[in-house]
Amino acid sequence: MSSYPFSPAALPYAQDALAPVISAQTVAFHYGKHLQAYINNLNAALPGSGFEGKSLEDIVKEAEGGIFNNAGQVLNHTLYFTQFKAAGSPSEPTGALAEAIARDFGSFEEFKAEFQKKGAGLFGSGWVWLASDAEGRLVITQESNAGNPVRRGLKPLLTFDVWEHAYYLDYQNRRPDHLAALWQIIDWDVVASRY
């Protein structure tokens, strides 16, 4: 990931490539406006903070208050937007990640059901994550607001954003429908590369 001053990661797809799962309008607002605002706020807060030379992940691990909130949202959104591929070719994980999912959740379908349930059940705004521990065991965590599993010593692999701005233009208040649709655009090669 880039260093200070931070800038948005380039999208690995066209702005309209995720439709109809995520519309071009949602990508424009979510990536173009929300993420950019977090980046602007973080860059403005860093001078004199002692965090100027640190990686984004280290800032998220160590910071509190406004710097943590903005750094967390930059990291979370970067992982979120770079895990997708063009709609139309849903896939499943393979290799070591698929084996770990089967080992730790029973099956890919059982993992998806638990992941969606935890995403739908998270009160308020936040994120649901698939993360791995130091031994490679997989866990699902619910993180409020700007939370990220790195604060628990875990490695983030996959995330669904359950802030309303992530889905409201396309799904209104139907968070479970949004979560169910996201599987169609996950780039499992990217997720596996994080494992």
pLDDT tens profile 157-172: 999 999 888 998 899 9
Q: pLDDT tens digits, residue range 27-77?
A: 999 999 999 999 999 999 999 999 998 999 999 999 999 999 999 999 999
The percentage of the chain sitting over the pLDDT mark of 70, rounded to a whole number, equals 99
Q: Which domain holds residue 76?
A: 24-81
Query: For the chain, what is the domain count?
Result: 2
> DSSP 3-state helix, strand, coil percentages of the chain (rounded to 5)?
50, 10, 35
7's torsion region: left (phi>0), alpha (psi -120 to 50) or beta?
A: beta
Residue 89 pLDDT > 80: no
DSSP structure class, residue 11: P
Question: Whole-angstrom Cα distance, residue 70 to residue 30?
Answer: 15
Q: Which tokens hold the place of 64?
A: 């509190």
Question: Whole-angstrom Cα distance, residue 98 to residue 66?
Answer: 37
Average pLDDT on 127-149 reads 97
Q: pLDDT tens digits, residue range 113-124?
A: 999 999 999 999
Whether 100 and 181 map to the same domain: the answer is yes
Whether 106 and 69 map to the same domain: the answer is no
Whether 61 and 122 map to the same domain: the answer is no
Whether 77 and 108 map to the same domain: the answer is no
Q: What sign does the dihedral 115-61-190-78 (CA atoms) show?
A: positive
Asked, for residue 108, whether it belongs to a domain, the answer is yes
Tell me the DSSP string of 126-184: EEEEEEE-TTS-EEEEEEETT--GGGGT-EEEEEEE-SGGGTHHHHTT-HHHHHHHHGG
pLDDT band at 105 (very low <50, low <70, confident <90, very high): very high
Asked, for residue 176, whether it belongs to a domain, the answer is yes
What value does the mean pLDDT of the chain take? 95
Asked, for residue 19, whether it belongs to a domain, the answer is no
Q: Please give the pLDDT value at position 169.
A: 84
Q: Please give the pLDDT value at position 1.
A: 59
Rounded to two decimals, what is the model's pTM? 0.95
Asked, for residue 136, whether it belongs to a domain, the answer is yes
Q: Please give the pLDDT value at position 88.
A: 81
Residue 99 pLDDT > 90: yes
Q: Would strands 155-161 and 138-144 be described as parallel, antiparallel, or unpaired? A: unpaired
Asked, for residue 1, whether it belongs to a domain, the answer is no
- Write the single-letter amino acid at 67: I
Asked, for residue 18, whether it belongs to a domain, the answer is no
Whether 67 and 148 map to the same domain: the answer is no
Whether 112 and 75 map to the same domain: the answer is no
Prior bond of 93 cis (ω within 30°):
no
Q: Would strands 138-144 and 126-132 be described as parallel, antiparallel, or unpaired? A: antiparallel
Residue 151 pLDDT > 80: yes
Whether 138 and 181 map to the same domain: the answer is yes
Asked, for residue 13, whether it belongs to a domain, the answer is no
Asked, for residue 3, whether it belongs to a domain, the answer is no
